[in-house]
Amino acid sequence: MTAKFVDTPSVGLALSKLLAGRETFGVKTVKDHLRLVRVEPDEAEIPPVRMVDPLKSIFFPPRQEVADYFERADEETPAKRAMIGVTACDLAALEVLDHVFLGGDFVDPFYQELRRNTLLISVDCTEPLDVCFCTFSGARPYPTAGFDLNLSPISGGYILEAGSEEGGSLLEEKLADLPEATADQFSERERSRAAVTQRVQQAVQDAGLPDPEKIYEKVQQKPDAPMWGELADQCVECGACNFVCPACHCFLLTDLEEEHGFRRFRNWDACLYPSFAKEASGANPRKRRSERLHGRMEKKFYFLKTDADRWGCVGCGRCIDACPGAIDVRETLRKLAHV
Amino acid sequence: MSSNPYQPVRTRLEDVARETGNIKTFLLAPETALPFEAGQFVQLTVPGLGEAPFTPSSAPGRGERLTVTVMEAGTVTGALHGMAPGAELGLRGPYGNVYPLDRFAGRDVLIMGGGVGLAPLRSLLLGLMQQRDRFARIILCYGARTPQDLIYKEQLKEWSRLDNLEVHLTVDQSDGAWDGKVGVVTTTLDDVELDAAGAVSAVCGPPVMMKFGTLALLDKGFTPENIYMSLEKNMSCGIGKCGHCRVGPYYVCRDGPVFAYSKLQGIKDLW
Ligand SMILES: Cc1cc2nc3c(=O)[nH]c(=O)nc-3n(C[C@H](O)[C@H](O)[C@H](O)COP(=O)(O)OP(=O)(O)OC[C@H]3O[C@@H](n4cnc5c(N)ncnc54)[C@H](O)[C@@H]3O)c2cc1C
Ligand code: SF4
Ligand code: FES
């Protein structure tokens, strides 16, 4: 695929040319946090690591209207959009969401539209966080698939590489005058990618993280291990881990009466909430917090592996930062591997 | 935009019949028919309030008219119970899998229901009776708490008079007028003589009844492959997206709601 070199002072202009006419999202530092916000292309930061917010928010918003009944909602064609600054872990999680919302007998048309209309510009990670462990499943801290264009920082600027047909033609069309990236620049990128990968791998090793295949087995075999009860003592059932997780996709439909009809919304939901699986009969198959904490791992490491051939955890570490009960998923995985 | 699976079809409530103190049967007429097969379920909307999943209790077919038999259990079912004919409702579906009738063909079929659990089984039973010749014996075992709690009382009487359907009824507690059997529904199995190893069964009812019903059927000699359960898990989307109905490796709305017990054995949070 096509790859260009763009020098640091010209990145903003290049992105503006590429994304003219699109509603653009990107990353900005707000109070020391990398946040996902609406941006003008030339003011987007090229983040060195994943943002705080999960990428899912722009494809599967926390609350979205999905029906206006009994009249059919006007089918607006959503604006063309773009997102600048996506990292490899979020792209991996997007594969899970694609499986859920686009796969099977029913397509979620709202997700599909947003997905189709959004150009993804990803970045290589250069400064992994303390909580990052994406390589535990063999993944890499730089995008290898699923992006339209990718930015790899090298000395003096970036390699801007196309990853899709759409990205390729945009590059040819809008930035034809940029120089092709050279072989030297590619080898610089390889070296820097290898160094960052090595750093994350070292962290994964230091944390004693198991192979997810091991978790796949253990999570099926050990639903009754005492570790789930110990975790339950820490969990306050806030659902923060579910909401910040880029691969958590569960939702609840709620309806509303309006002056001129009725509307239905699809809202993020959390499997850590006590009534998530409660049945009308009063029975609740995951009544105890320990059962729900196990259920969440079972969903990620057994169900999704079986169903989507994907791991439901991409190692972004967001839940580690978010949990008010100081639950560290790396600790959970390590314990589970040894019960 | 692809068709919207969250959009309900406007549906008229044509009739309401009281079955018991907290169970009613609703006759629904959707603007667009919802053809369904026995086993599948629909999502019924009370406009502005929300939805709940139900398995139709009427005979499978073209779905221009269908009935659901509903026990009052909460918000949506409570609102439904307050409605009169003419009310506007919504429907979407049908969803989920169907009873594998080809596997029932030529065999004895035992249907075991508890309480409102007979509702989804009625659709199956009516479907079987439509093609009665394909099956050997058809046996219905049905129990409720008290005689008042039996649903489809008139139809049960009619069914009892048929000679190609064997009906066994029981109640947990008798009242003065009841001259039938007293005992939990599994005790009706004692009155049934059959070669269970080659027979199939379908079970539906409250979780406790499903559990003990299934164990009793195993005791009787039914094989796990031939015990079909219809699971009533918590559902929201009905289309395999929202995650609510997950049991082990399955989404009940997508991979069920009908499961052979052999597929569920060993799942810890099944009951
Ligand atoms: C496939 C299937 C077929 C069913 N068939 C029948 C039937 O034929 N007849 C019948 O009477 N019932 C049937 N049910 C059960 C019926 O769907 C519930 O009684 C109904 O959803 C309760 O809704 P509600 O709004 O009245 O109660 P709510 O106020 O929503 O709930 C009361 C309690 O039940 C829980 N709950 C359990 N299941 C659900 C659910 N599916 N959606 C929302 N909340 C739930 C809630 O968490 C709450 O604790 C079926 C369920 C399924 C999954
Ligand atoms: S973030 Fe922590 S406390 Fe909140 S639900 Fe998740 S595990 Fe429990
Ligand atoms: S009800 Fe939503 S996944 Fe089954």
Q: Which of A76 and B141 is assigned the larger pLDDT?
A: B141
Same domain, A18 and A167: yes
CATH number for position B218: 3.40.50.80
In a domain, B223, yes or no: yes
B241 and A113 within 8 Å at the Cβ level: the answer is no
pLDDT in tens, A320-338: 999 999 999 999 999 999 9
Residue B170 exposed, middle or buried by CB count within 10 Å (0-12, 13-18, 19+): buried
Ligand 2 geometric centre to CA of A313 (Å): 15
The mean pLDDT of chain A is: 95
How far apart, in Å, do the first and last CA atoms of chain A sit? 46
- Report the percentage of chain B scoring pLDDT > 70: 99
Mutate to test the pocket of ligand 2, among A231, A238, A291 (most ligand atoms within 8 A of CB): A238
Ligand 2 geometric centre to CA of A328 (Å): 10
In a domain, A113, yes or no: yes
What does residue A104 show for φ and ψ, rounded to 5 degrees?
Answer: 80, -170
Cα separation, B243 vs B233, whole angstroms: 11
Mutate to test the pocket of ligand 1, among B68, B80, B123, B234 (most ligand atoms within 8 A of CB): B234
Cα separation, B80 vs B49, whole angstroms: 10
Same domain, A33 and A110: yes
E strands within chain B? Answer: 9-20, 23-30, 41-46, 50-54, 66-71, 88-95, 109-114, 138-144, 166-171, 181-182, 200-204, 227-230, 246-247, 250-251, 258-260
pLDDT in tens, B1-18: 568 999 999 999 999 999
Q: With contact defined as beta carbons under 8 Å apart, do A133 and A317 qualify?
A: yes
Same domain, B34 and B53: yes
Same domain, A333 and A237: yes
Same domain, A198 and A230: no
In a domain, A261, yes or no: no
CATH number for position B44: 2.40.30.10
Number of domains in chain B: 2
Choose the mutation target among B91, B95, B269 for the interface with A, i.e. most A CBs under 10 Å: B269
pLDDT of residue B1: 54
In a domain, A125, yes or no: yes
Which residue's CA is the nearest one to ligand 2's atom 4?
A238
In a domain, B138, yes or no: yes
Same domain, A188 and A50: yes
Same domain, B32 and B120: no
Mean pLDDT of A17-41: 96
Amino acid, single-letter form, for residue A296: R
Q: What is the length of chain B?
A: 271
pLDDT of residue A251: 98
Q: Which atom of ligand 3 is nearest to the CA of B236?
A: 1
Confidence of residue A159 (pLDDT cuts 50, 70, 90): very high
Same domain, B214 and B120: yes
Cα separation, A125 vs A129, whole angstroms: 10
Tokens of B123: 């659709």
Structural domain ending residue among the three candidates A206, A224, A240: A206
pLDDT of residue A73: 59
pLDDT in tens, A231-255: 999 999 999 999 999 999 999 999 9
How many helices (H) and strands (E) chain A has is answered by 12, 10
Is the pTM value of this prediction over 0.90? Answer: yes
Q: How far is A119 from chain B (nearest CA, A)?
A: 18
Is pLDDT at A72 greater than 80 in this prediction? no
B51 and A251 within 8 Å at the Cβ level: the answer is no
Cα separation, B110 vs B195, whole angstroms: 11
Mean pLDDT of B114-120: 94
Same domain, A232 and A140: no
In a domain, A258, yes or no: no
On whether any CB of chain B is under 8 Å from the CB of A74, the answer is: no
In a domain, B148, yes or no: yes
Choose the mutation target among A264, A293, A309 for the interface with B, i.e. most B CBs under 10 Å: A264
- Tokens 């949070």 belong to residue: B269
pLDDT of residue B207: 87
Residue B87 is part of which domain span? 9-95
Q: Coil, helix or strand for A45?
A: strand
Same domain, A35 and A125: yes
Residue A161 exposed, middle or buried by CB count within 10 Å (0-12, 13-18, 19+): buried
Tokens of B255: 């991979």
Same domain, A278 and A295: yes
Residue A78 is part of which domain span? 3-56+73-206
Cα separation, B37 vs A235, whole angstroms: 43
Residues paired with residue A5 on neighbouring β-strands, in sequence order: A159
Q: What is the length of chain A?
A: 339
pLDDT in tens, B7-50: 999 999 999 999 999 999 999 999 999 999 999 999 999 999 99
Same domain, B81 and B107: no
- Tokens 């003219």 belong to residue: A20
On whether any CB of chain B is under 8 Å from the CB of A113, the answer is: yes
Comparing CB atoms, the residue among B90, B207, B249 nearest residue A303 is B249
Same domain, B78 and B177: no
Ligand 2 geometric centre to CA of B266 (Å): 28
pLDDT-wise least confident of A71-75, A154-158, B261-265: A71-75
Ligand 2 geometric centre to CA of B75 (Å): 28
Same domain, A14 and A29: yes
Same domain, B91 and B116: no
Structural domain ending residue among the three candidates B198, B213, B230: B230
In a domain, B247, yes or no: no
Number of the ligand closest to the Cα of A105: 3
In a domain, B240, yes or no: no
Cα separation, B234 vs B240, whole angstroms: 12
Partners of B268 on chain A (C-beta within 8 Å) are 223-224
Q: Which atom of ligand 3 is nearest to the CA of B243?
A: 3
Ligand 2 geometric centre to CA of A235 (Å): 5
pLDDT-wise least confident of A275-284, B56-65, B66-75: A275-284
Mean pLDDT of A309-315: 97
Q: Which residues of B92-105 are buried (b: 16+ CB within 10 A; e: fewer)?
A: bbbbbbbbebeebe
Tokens of B197: 């190893």
Partners of B9 on chain A (C-beta within 8 Å) are 70
In a domain, A265, yes or no: no
Q: With contact defined as beta carbons under 8 Å apart, do A65 and A290 qualify?
A: no
In a domain, B269, yes or no: no
Kindly list the strands in the beta sheet with B88-95, ordered across the sheet, starting from the edge strand earlier in the chain.
Answer: B50-54, B41-46, B88-95, B9-20, B23-30, B66-71
Q: With contact defined as beta carbons under 8 Å apart, do B134 and B106 qualify?
A: yes
Q: With contact defined as beta carbons under 8 Å apart, do B149 and B172 qualify?
A: no
Number of domains in chain A: 2
Residues paired with residue A249 on neighbouring β-strands, in sequence order: none
pLDDT of residue B81: 98
Same domain, B26 and B110: no
Mutate to test the pocket of ligand 3, among B236, B250, B259 (most ligand atoms within 8 A of CB): B236
pLDDT of residue A161: 97
Cα separation, A31 vs A12, whole angstroms: 22
In a domain, A176, yes or no: yes
Q: What residues have CB less than 8 Å from B255, skipping those under 6 apart?
A: B97
Choose the mutation target among A69, A102, A221, A307 for the interface with B, i.e. most B CBs under 10 Å: A69
- Report the percentage of chain B scoring pLDDT > 90: 92
